[in-house]
Structure 1
Amino acid sequence: MTQEVFLLSYTKYGDHDAVLHCFCRENGFESFFAKGIYAPKNKKKAFLFPLNELLLYTSDKKKSIQNVQKIEQKNVDFFSSDIRKNSILFFVSDLLNQVLRNENQNVGIYSEISIFLSQLQIDNFQSHLIFIFRLLKQQGLQPLFSDKTYLNPETGNFEDIEMHHFFDKTISDIWKDLITSQDPYSIKLSRTEKQNFLDSILVYFHYHFTDFREPRSLEIIKEIF
């Protein structure tokens, strides 16, 4: 059986093995056991970086966790050693590893990840912000547009009164622009707007995802961008 997956995270198991936590095109979130991937002569351990798109060949036997018989990289040389891109990949994969844990098949989310990676590949260094916003739409959590001024992050509605200090008129207007834009990846944000919008969207996630925590690489993202 062949699975197309994005690698979200992995856990080393013993000296040579690992458990891979992935988002699959067909099955949503799923974990796999990669035996021997850390063996000294196994070059496939180089494939273990965040959001790498992989082809996993697994047995057809139904187990709680399937064994990987063969692993291939779908897009060879997709990313360079650019520290900015790698920082974004770590940040987004950490966030997805939290919010997609209970997600079943969702081709829309899989496609959104592909679009985000394509944007990052062409040096769109705010693509992670747009992607995280678009993820809300795929999960039915995008705010409802209205003519009112301030977004209430708890209810997902716009209101006449500011309900949270991270959601002032400027940031609420950015949310409105993203909701209505046909091409949100083309929207340009200043450095200050990027940081403030990121703060606002993490607050929104705290309200709408149980036990959500800030990704570990958040401070690095803020320093770089």
Structure 2
Amino acid sequence: MLSKNNSIVLSKLKYREYDLIVKCYTQQRGVVSYLLKGVLKSKKGLSKTVYYQALSQLQIEESYKPNQTLHFIKEVKFSYIYKSLHTNIYKSSIVFFLAEILSNVLKEEEQNEGLYEFITVALQYLDNEDQFSNFHLLFLLKLTRYLGFQPENIDNNYTYFNLESGIFESSNNGIYSISGSNLTLLKRLLGINFDALNSIKINAIQRQEFLNMLLYYFELHLGSFKKPKSLQVLNEVFH
């Protein structure tokens, strides 16, 4: 069955000698994997690989058959052309990091319009923004809403946040309770949208500490979550 579908590229993997397997998050079907046969064999085919860079936003004509593991792309074009995401070294480090995160946490093969729109709009914001060093922190925090473990019960009077329960509390309940600067930053980020990120002023050490806390939060709530390999590169770029 041929149909049109919008998609975001999550990952690509060389398969056999000349093929690629591309995993996408699609607007209509959630996570879908496509087999691109012979795309690495010719110059014409190689030119098409530019479409499949990390987090590219595409409009595809797909050959989709239910109950199959791999599907096929008949035609492809950009639904949004990035101006800086793949050419700015700082932005591209964020892109590879978030692509690895999304490839890890997105599993559902079903439509989720809200999540798809969140990802596309957020990436377009990053593409057009000049100050973005804290973008990935807010992106991950907002992503928790769609994954089912958004921090709850926020109140500025609470002096602790429990990473295990995802709830703000008035007392320290052990190894999962955080306080201090991480708690302050968490409350601030929960109260803003991307267009207010410039109001957040933190240094590289604070950024890394908060990111490590967020990744631990993901680990606690997603049993299959793995710390991304691209984390070290991200930290080095923004150090």
TM-score (norm. length: structure 1): 0.91
Aligned to 1:154: 164
1:175 to 186, 201, 210: 186
Residue in structure 2 matching 1:125, options 133, 150, 154: 133
**How far is 1:6 from its partner?**
0.3
Amino acid at match of 2:73: V
CA offset at residue 117 of structure 1? 1.2
Matched residue of 2:178: which SS?
coil
Which of 39, 47, 50 is the aligned partner of 2:54?
Answer: 50
Equivalent position of 1:196 in the other structure: 209
Aligned pairs for 1:73-92 (under 5 A) are 73-79=78-84, 80-92=86-98
* 2:4 aligned with 1:2: yes
Structure 1 runs (4+) greater than 6 angstroms displaced: none
Q: 1:104–1:193: structure 2 CA closer, same or farther, 3 Å change rule? A: farther
Q: Determine if contact 1:112/1:131 at 8 Å carries over to the other structure.
A: no
Structure 2 residue runs of 5 or longer lacking an equivalent are: none
Give the alignment's TM-score, normalised by structure 2.
Answer: 0.86
Paired with 1:7 and 1:85, the residues of 2 have a C-alpha distance of: 16
Equivalent-residue separation in structure 2 for 1:59 and 1:187 (angstroms): 46
CA contact (8 A) 2:151 2:166 kept: yes
Judge which range, 204-213 or 74-83, deviates more: 74-83
* CA deviations over 1:50-76 (Å, ceiling 9, x no partner): 100112211254451221112222223
Please identify, of 198-207 and 71-80, the stretch whose mean Cα deviation from structure 2 is larger. 71-80
Structure 2 CA distance, aligned partners of 1:36 and 1:86?
A: 27
Which residues of 2 match residues 53-72 of structure 1 at below 5 A? 53-59=57-63, 61-62=65-66, 64=68, 65-72=70-77
Instruction: Provide closer, same or farther for how the CA distance between residues 76 and 220 of structure 1 changes in structure 2, counting only shifts above 3 A.
Output: same
Question: Match for 1:149: what amino acid?
Answer: T
Q: Distance in 1 between the 2:27 and 2:166 partners?
A: 29
Coordinate RMSD, CA, aligned: 2.0
Residue identity in the other structure for 1:74: S
Distance in structure 1 (CA, Å) of the matches to 2:48 and 2:177: 43
- Whether contact under 8 Å (2:24, 2:32) holds in the other structure is yes
Deviation of 1:35 (Å) = 1.8
Aligned length: 225
Aligned equivalent of 1:94:
100
Percent identity for Structure 1 against Structure 2: 28
Tell me how far apart the structure 2 counterparts of residues 198 and 103 of structure 1 sit (CA, whole Å).
28
The unaligned stretches of length 5 or more in structure 1 are: none
Moved more, 102-111 or 48-57: 102-111
